[in-house]
Structure 1
């Protein structure tokens, strides 16, 4: 039986190839998704990582503060650093200053992706954190050192002048040195610029202060001993001290926590990949064994036992699964690498770079899917075939399902579909995040129910296409009859395409609706023609707002800055605005009082007013960040959104209490509206700075659109394999159908059906099956998109369901194209059958 199984595998090369391809693509789908998701996850983890090789104890601002001040961060001064360095067991102490620093390449384009553009200070002549490769340490405001990766990408060398920005104004220092670093942000594609300590403190508005003090222990002193010594040497209650080991552990937990949401999303798609891959493999092998029922019965007739027949099938599955698993894993690694390169090449990509990650878990999962699933998929049909009496099996390749089994299947499918629908509807009525798991469970149950019901649904839906098929004459009528002849096979074939299109359609509906909602929210509250901000949305220098106000053609402008304060008994952020112009730059509906921002008069968003119990006319006690007290009056309550909310205060009232004022953005209105020449004038006035964004409403919408487009492209890439696998499923089904109907096709040829009509019949059958799966997929996708939208709408007021009908039509056309492509080889094979040989075929 062992030799028979191996010979049987090799004897049917076409069947072997199709089966291996089905399993290989299923494995490739799973492993490619896992490689891609692990690579992205690892890149984000490394981008957040920070090395602690030269940190035995870190000193950070503690919780000690004045009781009347909202500022919770005490200052880390040079005096404190010197005290730390003199502590027993300390070798030396490094003061760390960090902040945003944008570097432009030689063409003026921003390097490092905005959010990953960082700056800091170079400590001393030999900073152990950043070994110099070329040049010398930066000295003075006109020198800077950059990391080797950034220098290589931009083509900078020691002595070159570069364009850069910290908080708005353009600076052009000389590259004094190029250093190497193991900083995770740089390893993930970011940029790092270093200044001498005094320059860094001035640029980052931290004169005489540090963000952190890193202390390295002297030889023979442990981290715990140094920690105890610093606890005694430093003022009690003003700083926190943490060992480098503890910092590394805390960082690992923080990164893991911050990536929970992304990891969940990526694992969800890996799970989808696993489900589709398992489904396709099981479906293919079930059809394969069913096709060989007569052959297996012949083995029984010549003396093979049931167990031998079953083991023979399992051995074939093991061989096929092993070969396909290895090739599928290799193909999946290539798919993951290709998707990573594609994302990296997109201008809209904000994904950090990093090496391709092929984890042991990915390898194990790929082999398990390829081998274990294939063997399990073959076991049940092989066992079922072995139980059929040899005479009965040899008399008919097809054993039609009994009425009882169909009724049972339809009943189970109806119950699952009803339960899934009820769960989805119930989840959409729940508040907050509590509805997500209910909707997710309902969606899974509903998909299973529809899959079970697909044979029942195939007859009426395919019958609806009868008028169109009549146009193609006899070939069209035969195609319709062949499509419904074996409902289970038709359903199993269409289901793979249904799953892929369900996911693609649902994601398209959700992304399109969310994009429009955020777009509407972003621009509906704005009357400004332009919004000016940093590329990473960090603080802008107040000089930027003054430069804009003095630019010709600007009729109104207002900076927006946030400052911590204690209002009443709670901590809040006050948003400073130009009280005179803010009303002309925004359109915020007022529900109570009037929109007046001047002197002590402020306006508050409705959510904050509701939470605090404030109304128009209320007087509020405020303690500013400098510790000084005052009173504010609520002039009005406005309807806020995620773009503009909080307590809006006149800049003239807030600025005197800010030690280092910075603006989050500047709203601008011009005499002639948003025109290209006006935008060019603003950009020229700001020094054509690549770190500053000057955006009109269309630019904001385009930015939102790019984000969603990038997300959709990544998800479409993950799901593209599902469609490819579905194509193969259709090919397998048609090829087997042609094989089983050889006599019938030969008879049709004998009574006058020519080769072109045979080809047309097989192609139409394939198109009908594909469109059937497409209709089910689009319908389910729209329903799931609506359900997810109900959950999103509870958080975003501007959310409305948007069904892109044009794209839905494209998806159905794609389904039809899938049918045409899948039918090419089976149709050619059917047309080339020798009619006499086919008629005499057993």
Structure 2
């Protein structure tokens, strides 16, 4: 039986090729994902570890301590503490590190890197200013000295073309700083390797820019020769005053950084593997379809084996042995292709401006094992049911009939099971949609899986009425159209398996498009309804702005109202709450808030509160509460009104005149601006010019705000389209496979049609129309399910996003259906050509 299985594989190489390709693509996706994420993770971990080579123990401020109802302060890392750590027994040296956001403009005035990875820090030259910073070896020039100099990393210098002596424009919290490049340094910082930038100032300048109150963010201590990191940490713990400081060994920091990198890769890995799973799931239909047709075509052969003594188990094992060989070949080829995909994805990141630290391609043993197991197991499982079905055919019945038709009882059982699964799935999706975001996701997810499986089981039943609806169009093609319709419903199970592969891909694509389009509309509604302001000004990384920015904007010609949004923590009722300071005289002209209770009055001791915060504290208009500010003082505030919060404005709003008196270093998260003429290119240019065309500051109108928030969804959707294309490619292979085997199976019929007068063009048209009908059938099911899932997920999201409304992308859905039709036409090219070139006399004599 084993030799028979191997001979069958060799005898049907062309028929099994599509199955090999389907499995190979799925395995390639799995192995490529694992190779890519492992390679990136390993490169970042090694690069990050280099950044801690100079650190044996790091000293950082502890968490902010609360003292009763007063807001405590974080302990400061002062120069005195720095000197003290350097003298601890076992310490060789200590340096103070300062860091923060620093936006660098390139030669075209654009921000270098993205907002979250454009950082600044200090070059530690020692207490006397003559030393060298072990963290950042200089490759050109000299260390920065004074407030007018800066050093930049070598990768940023290469990307921008800046060199020693050039003048660059930089911003830390708003005002533009013209600085001279004093030197270029190298660094193993993973953020820089990934496309970010790092600018270094001398310590005094860095402290003035990032810490006006003085001090350091971290003190890095190097151990003396022969002293371990653990020993040094113990000595520092004993020497540091109080319990307000945290000490961490360099090894622990490196390990934590490695864990963060691995954790960051987990999300990407999981997402990619989900789509690899989808591709494999679609491939299961092709594999099952292929082996079902192979078994049907070899019914007499299998019956003869049964007649000469082969048992049912042996017949099943024979089919599974074929699947094992096919799966093993596909898995090996897929693994090799996946390694190439992993390397290609890494190179592709560079073309999109996403640099990756240098490092070898990582192909771990777990990747090899996982790829081989996935390919083999998926193929064998998909072939098990056809093999079991073949073994059940009685030898006598099989010898007398090439095709064993499904019994009425089996169809009734199938349809009953399918209806039950679909019903339970619909109930789960609807039930999940009516619950909250947290509790509704599990039942909705389970319901969606059951519904897809149920529709797949019911597809043979659904194929007849839906395909019959296309009869009027098919009649336009005469005999070829009539034959195509009859052929597409002749074997409903085969048609169902072929259409289902395309259905799954289009279900996901349509559902994601509906959700993304609806979220875009929700964001547009939010920006339109919540803001009266024409512009919102903020830092590129959403860091804080200098209060000087609002003052400059208020003085711009044409500005009629402006207000900062200034956040500050406060102790209220024993809990820490966030206060938002606004200009009480201007906020009503800049924000459009819906009030449930009271009035929109923000002045003096009067505040307005969003409904969720008011509910949690049992407040209403007229309620009073005590707020403990960060300077330790308390004040009684009165709730003037309760408004409906949104994603842009929420929390406790009070006048900046009231809040600022309790802040040592006030800073704004953003500034809202209204102009006399409304948003225009001229108004925006005036605002940007007043800020010195600052690379680190964004001046956005309502449309810009909406697009900025929606950009994440758009990017994600485009990535998902690319990933789901894999599932569609596998589905195309399934259509090609089905048609090719269908043409082989109907060789006598095609030969007879040719003999009675149907020409080659008519044969081609018949096969193409059959493929078109099957593809469009799968497309209609997929788009219908996608819209349903998109609506259900929208109901779930709508509970937390009030501006959410369902948007059906009719234009895109028409495109998706047209693409399904194109898939059908392209998939039929080779089978149609093969059918048309068939020798009619040889075909009529074929068995």
Range class of TM-score, shorter chain: over 0.9
Q: Which among 731, 737, 740 is matched to residue 745 of structure 2? A: 740
Cα gap change, 1:360 to 1:689, in 2 (>3 Å): farther
- 2:122 counterpart of 1:121: yes
Structure 2 distance, partners of 1:575, 1:608, is 13
Q: CA deviation at 1:818?
A: 0.7
Cα gap change, 1:340 to 1:403, in 2 (>3 Å): farther
Q: Which among 509, 532, 540 is matched to residue 514 of structure 2? A: 509
Aligned to 1:704: 709
Q: CA deviation at 1:783?
A: 1.4
Secondary structure at 1:110 match in 2: coil
- 2:290 counterpart of 1:284: yes
Q: CA deviation at 1:478?
A: 1.0
Q: What are the Cα deviations for residues 53-106 of structure 1, in whole angstroms up to 9, with x where unaligned? A: 332322222255655642441211111111111111111222121111112222
Q: CA deviation at 1:287?
A: 3.0
Aligned to 1:275: 281
Quick check: 1:509–1:785 contact (8 Å CA) kept in 2? yes
- 2:528 counterpart of 1:523: yes
Structure 2 distance, partners of 1:354, 1:610, is 53
Secondary structure at 1:115 match in 2: helix
Secondary structure at 2:167 match in 1: coil
Quick check: 1:344–1:353 contact (8 Å CA) kept in 2? no
Structure 1 distance, partners of 2:50, 2:429, is 43
Aligned to 1:229: 235
Q: CA deviation at 1:303?
A: 7.9
Quick check: 2:515–2:794 contact (8 Å CA) kept in 1? yes
Aligned to 1:838: 843
Q: CA deviation at 1:796?
A: 0.9
Cα gap change, 1:396 to 1:345, in 2 (>3 Å): farther
Quick check: 1:114–1:535 contact (8 Å CA) kept in 2? yes
Where structure 1 has 5 or more consecutive residues not aligned to the other structure, the ranges are none
Structure 2 distance, partners of 1:16, 1:268, is 26
Structure 2 distance, partners of 1:438, 1:495, is 23
Aligned to 2:492: 487
Aligned to 1:92: 93
Figure out how many residues of one structure are paired with residues of the other and give that number. Answer: 840
Structure 1 distance, partners of 2:321, 2:307, is 20
Moved more, 468-477 or 44-53: 44-53
Structure 2 distance, partners of 1:816, 1:165, is 54
Cα gap change, 1:71 to 1:523, in 2 (>3 Å): farther
Q: What are the Cα deviations for residues 795-839 of structure 1, in whole angstroms up to 9, with x where unaligned? A: 111111222122111111111111111111111111111221111
Aligned to 1:821: 826
Structure 1 distance, partners of 2:533, 2:237, is 53
Secondary structure at 1:111 match in 2: coil
Aligned to 2:128: none
Structure 2 distance, partners of 1:316, 1:192, is 58
Equivalent residue runs for 1:548-587 within 5 Å: 548-587=553-592
Q: Could you tell me the TM-score, scaled by structure 1's length?
A: 0.94
Q: CA deviation at 1:305?
A: 7.1
Q: Could you tell me the TM-score, scaled by structure 2's length?
A: 0.93
Structure 1 distance, partners of 2:41, 2:528, is 33
Moved more, 84-93 or 16-25: 16-25
Structure 2 distance, partners of 1:44, 1:649, is 44
Aligned to 2:637: 632
Aligned to 2:84: 83
Aligned to 1:61: 61
Q: CA deviation at 1:579?
A: 1.4
Quick check: 1:96–1:214 contact (8 Å CA) kept in 2? yes
Cα gap change, 1:365 to 1:261, in 2 (>3 Å): closer
Cα gap change, 1:517 to 1:337, in 2 (>3 Å): farther
- 2:134 counterpart of 1:133: no
Aligned to 1:593: 598
Moved more, 129-138 or 237-246: 237-246
Quick check: 2:69–2:573 contact (8 Å CA) kept in 1? no
Quick check: 2:18–2:734 contact (8 Å CA) kept in 1? no
Secondary structure at 2:494 match in 1: helix
Aligned to 1:165: 171
Aligned to 1:199: 205
Q: CA deviation at 1:656?
A: 2.3
Aligned to 1:692: 697
Secondary structure at 1:162 match in 2: strand
Quick check: 1:30–1:277 contact (8 Å CA) kept in 2? no
Secondary structure at 2:168 match in 1: coil
Q: CA deviation at 1:762?
A: 0.8
Equivalent residue runs for 1:263-662 within 5 Å: 265-297=271-303, 313-336=319-342, 358-382=363-387, 384-385=389-390, 388=393, 392-662=397-667
Q: Which among 713, 720, 725 is matched to residue 718 of structure 2? A: 713
- 2:185 counterpart of 1:183: no
Q: Which among 778, 784, 797 is matched to residue 779 of structure 1? A: 784
Structure 2 distance, partners of 1:589, 1:352, is 47
Moved more, 697-706 or 196-205: 697-706
Cα gap change, 1:805 to 1:333, in 2 (>3 Å): farther
Q: What are the Cα deviations for residues 22-77 of structure 1, in whole angstroms up to 9, with x where unaligned? A: 33233234434555666777789899989433323222222556556424412111
Cα gap change, 1:639 to 1:352, in 2 (>3 Å): farther
Cα gap change, 1:705 to 1:35, in 2 (>3 Å): farther
- 2:20 counterpart of 1:20: yes
Cα gap change, 1:705 to 1:451, in 2 (>3 Å): same
Q: CA deviation at 1:738?
A: 0.7
Q: What are the Cα deviations for residues 727-770 of structure 1, in whole angstroms up to 9, with x where unaligned? A: 11001101111111111111111222122111111111111111
Aligned to 2:75: 74
Quick check: 2:37–2:265 contact (8 Å CA) kept in 1? no
Aligned to 1:792: 797
Moved more, 66-75 or 444-453: 66-75
Aligned to 1:802: 807
Q: CA deviation at 1:524?
A: 1.6
Structure 1 distance, partners of 2:291, 2:254, is 49
Structure 1 distance, partners of 2:809, 2:40, is 29
Q: CA deviation at 1:19?
A: 3.3
- RMSD, matched Cα: 2.8
Structure 1 distance, partners of 2:511, 2:36, is 22
Structure 2 distance, partners of 1:606, 1:307, is 68
Q: CA deviation at 1:712?
A: 0.5
Quick check: 1:34–1:270 contact (8 Å CA) kept in 2? no
Quick check: 1:50–1:184 contact (8 Å CA) kept in 2? no
Q: CA deviation at 1:345?
A: 5.0
